[in-house]
């Protein structure tokens, strides 16, 4: 009977003889890495099997047991290309795996067994055992919501037959894609009642249901103030926001933010009895694309410290101060925002070592913070940057020691800007399609919205003091000096780091695999489609000077410094 972990732990480690393993644990996803002592004779090591037991932590009963599956088999046993095979008989020839199917109400036990011998005569060694319990969506004062953010996936194709989300009955595709992100905002709005206030700052306000929920809160007696991006009435995004505001009866409470380049915030402050009590914020606009089709995060903070800071920022924006590069516009907004930052340096729900970076200001505070984080990285950097990176950040990435893996995601429009980052232990990918693989259709249509939109940087998530930079701001000078923005710089919150890293890796591996397959294969049978029948598959993972990311990937994901 597997052992049971009943409480959440962001990083779980184990060892057995020459083997060791670690799990980075999120809400819906766990990233599992394992390693073997370099002195171990790997000539007959055919890979690893992983057996997962799903457990009810209340009754302590095992709900199900299965071997994790994949698509590669031994060629001499049977031609199973494109068919799902168990890792028990066809072991994984790699040193990490991710489970994207976790449920917060369950516990899990993973048994990672080294497999030796020959394809026709397998031997399973004593397993490494990792017992985990996923994080709840809300723990203490902090709720963390990450959408699936991808329609161009085999899982979407299988589940919804490639239909557009709007074509799937009962909103099932929308619910699957949102995975609680949009629902967290709706629930937050629904908390406002008689005498409460909702102060909202939003860039794209295109979701009619969100607008109607705000209107219903007003009907219940809540006071609403809505600031929205509106520098030019001719902009498509402004026209749509105005349309939603008008048809839902919110015109009397809406304040257009005119004197700015981009009013890019996405946040809501809940005020009770005159006191800011809670905050919803993140990277998602109030749009179909934001909630369902792009990669995005939403944060619910039930703490007055953050709520008060964002309320002070809201009061500055409410004045519609001028900002931009014109000299006369600098003082009006930037100095006011600097005063807000100075009075809210530390945060409550995330931990003591937290800063809130509001924009616009006279300095490149978000860019500078990112560069400083990169300089301090010891093992890993994970970056989601929709519109690429400031050239100074790219330079800082290039200066890191080869012991630091640097994995990133950007949109296709930024592909040329980050081309030089793909070297040694640094890999950056853009969204790409994989029309077919192993003789079958593989990706659903992406519906034009398969975009990276989360703006996150996570440093050393396996350490006791990981650092996370995230918010509405892109990693650029305009996001610091010209736009209305907000970012959190959080040190030491292992749960936040683990959740954002595991979700980043879900998307990173999604697009990495498509990129590699599109580069090396025309989707016909070849030796790369089958498992190696000896231990030679592992050699590249142990070549320190090989021009490959796999050496350091092996040790980092096994939780080693």
Q: How would you write the pLDDT of the chain (561 residues) with one tens digit per residue?
A: 567 899 999 999 999 999 999 999 999 999 999 999 999 999 999 999 999 999 999 999 999 999 998 888 898 876 555 578 899 999 999 999 999 999 999 999 999 999 999 999 999 999 999 999 999 999 999 999 999 988 788 889 989 988 999 999 999 999 999 999 999 999 999 999 999 999 999 999 999 999 999 999 999 999 999 999 999 999 999 999 999 999 999 999 999 999 999 999 999 999 999 999 999 999 999 999 999 999 999 999 999 999 999 999 999 999 999 876 555 545 678 889 999 998 876 668 888 789 999 999 999 999 999 999 999 999 999 999 998 799 999 999 988 888 899 999 999 888 888 888 888 889 999 988 888 887 788 887 767 666 899 999 999 999 999 999 999 999 999 999 999 999 999 999 999 999 999 999 999 999 998 888 888 765 444 556 789 999 999 999 999 877 789 999 999 999 998
Same domain, 445 and 473: yes
**HSE of 246 in the Cβ direction (CA atoms, 13 Å)?**
6
Same domain, 106 and 148: no
Report helix, strand or coil for 224: strand
Q: 401 to each of 13, 381, 385, how far by Cα in Å?
A: 25, 12, 21
Among residues 280, 314, 344, which one ends one of the domains?
344
What is the C-alpha to C-alpha distance for residues 330 and 200, in angstroms, rounded to an integer? 24
Total number of domains in the chain: 3
Same domain, 273 and 163: yes
Same domain, 45 and 162: no
Buried b (16+ CB within 10 A) or exposed e, 535-545: bebbeebeeee
Closest CA to 239 of 228, 253, 225: 228
**Is 5 inside any structural domain?**
no
Residue 54: which CATH number?
Answer: 2.60.40.10
Same domain, 123 and 182: no
Q: 32 to each of 17, 36, 131, 426, 465, how far by Cα in Å?
A: 18, 14, 11, 20, 20
| pTM (2 d.p.) | 0.96
Number of H helices and E strands in the chain, helices first, is 14, 30
**Is 4 inside any structural domain?**
no
Residue 328: which CATH number?
Answer: 3.30.870.10
Same domain, 332 and 468: no
**Is 442 inside any structural domain?**
yes
User: DSSP secondary structure string, 266-298?
Assistant: EEEEEEETTEEEEEEEES--BSHIIIIISB-EE
Contacts of 499 (CB under 8 A, 6+ apart): 26, 27, 135, 144, 146
Q: 141 to each of 147, 348, 511, how far by Cα in Å?
A: 20, 9, 33
Backbone angles phi and psi of 457, in degrees to 5? -140, 125
Same domain, 394 and 490: yes
Q: Report CA 281 to chain centroid distance, whole Å.
A: 15
Same domain, 296 and 395: no
Q: List the 223-229 sheet strands across, edge first.
A: 138-139, 142-146, 297-301, 275-282, 266-272, 197-202, 223-229, 254-257
Tell me which residue range forms the domain holding 38. Answer: 11-132
What is the C-alpha to C-alpha distance for residues 321 and 88, in angstroms, rounded to an integer? 63
Same domain, 115 and 145: no
Residue matched to tokens 């406002």: 192
Same domain, 385 and 336: no
Same domain, 193 and 337: yes
């Amino acid at each position: 009977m597997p052992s049971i972990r009943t409480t959440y732990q962001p990083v779980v480690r184990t060892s057995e003889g020459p083997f060791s393993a670690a799990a980075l644990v999120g809400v819906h996803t766990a990233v599992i890495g394992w390693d073997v002592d370099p002195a171990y004779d790997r000539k007959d090591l055919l890979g690893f099997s992983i057996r997962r037991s799903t457990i009810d932590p209340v009754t302590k009963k095992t709900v199900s047991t299965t071997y994790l599956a994949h698509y590669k088999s031994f060629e001499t046993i049977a031609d199973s290309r494109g068919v799902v095979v168990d890792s028990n008989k066809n072991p994984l020839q790699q040193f990490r795996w991710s489970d994207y199917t976790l449920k917060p109400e369950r516990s899990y036990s993973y048994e990672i067994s080294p497999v030796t011998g020959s394809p026709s005569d397998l031997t399973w060694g004593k397993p490494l055992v990792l017992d985990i319990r996923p994080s709840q969506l809300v723990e203490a004062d902090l709720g963390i919501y990450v959408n699936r953010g991808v329609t161009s996936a085999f899982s979407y194709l299988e589940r919804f037959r490639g239909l557009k989300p709007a074509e799937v009955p009962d909103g099932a595709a929308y619910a699957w894609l949102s995975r609680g992100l949009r629902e967290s905002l709706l629930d937050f709005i629904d908390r406002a009642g008689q005498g409460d206030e909702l102060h909202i700052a939003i860039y794209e306000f295109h979701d009619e249901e969100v607008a109607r929920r705000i209107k219903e809160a007003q009907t219940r007696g809540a006071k609403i103030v809505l600031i929205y991006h509106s520098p030019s009435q001719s902009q498509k995004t402004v026209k749509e926001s105005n349309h939603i505001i008008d048809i839902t009866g919110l015109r009397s409470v809406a304040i257009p933010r005119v004197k700015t380049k981009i009013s890019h915030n996405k946040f809501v402050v809940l005020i009770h009895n005159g006191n800011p009590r809670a905050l919803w914020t993140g990277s998602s606009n109030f749009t179909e694309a934001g909630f369902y089709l792009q990669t995005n995060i939403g944060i619910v903070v039930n703490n007055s410290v953050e709520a008060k800071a964002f309320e002070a920022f809201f009061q500055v924006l409410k004045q519609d101060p001028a900002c931009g590069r014109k000299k006369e516009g600098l003082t009006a907004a930037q100095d006011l925002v600097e005063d807000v930052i100075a009075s809210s340096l530390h945060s409550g729900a995330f931990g003591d070592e937290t800063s809130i970076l509001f924009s616009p200001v006279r300095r490149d505070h978000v860019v500078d913070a990112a560069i400083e984080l990169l300089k301090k990285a010891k093992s890993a950097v994970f970056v989601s940057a929709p519109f690429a990176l400031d050239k100074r950040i790219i330079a800082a990435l290039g200066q890191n020691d080869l012991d630091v893996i640097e994995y990133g995601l950007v949109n296709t429009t930024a592909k040329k800007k980050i081309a030089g980052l793909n070297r040694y232990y640094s890999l950056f990918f853009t969204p790409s399609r994989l029309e077919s693989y192993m003789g079958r259709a593989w990706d659903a249509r992406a519906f034009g919205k398969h975009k990276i939109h989360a703006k996150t940087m996570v440093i050393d998530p396996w350490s006791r003091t990981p650092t996370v930079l995230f918010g509405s701001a892109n990693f650029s000078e305009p996001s610091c000096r010209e736009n209305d923005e907000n970012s959190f710089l959080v040190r030491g919150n292992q749960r936040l780091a683990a959740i954002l890293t595991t979700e980043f890796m879900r998307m990173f591996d999604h697009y990495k695999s498509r990129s590699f397959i599109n580069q090396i294969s025309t989707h016909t049978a070849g030796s790369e489609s089958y498992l190696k029948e000896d231990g030679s598959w592992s050699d590249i993972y142990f070549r320190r000077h090989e021009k490959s990311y796999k050496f350091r990937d092996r040790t980092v994901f096994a939780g080693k410094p």
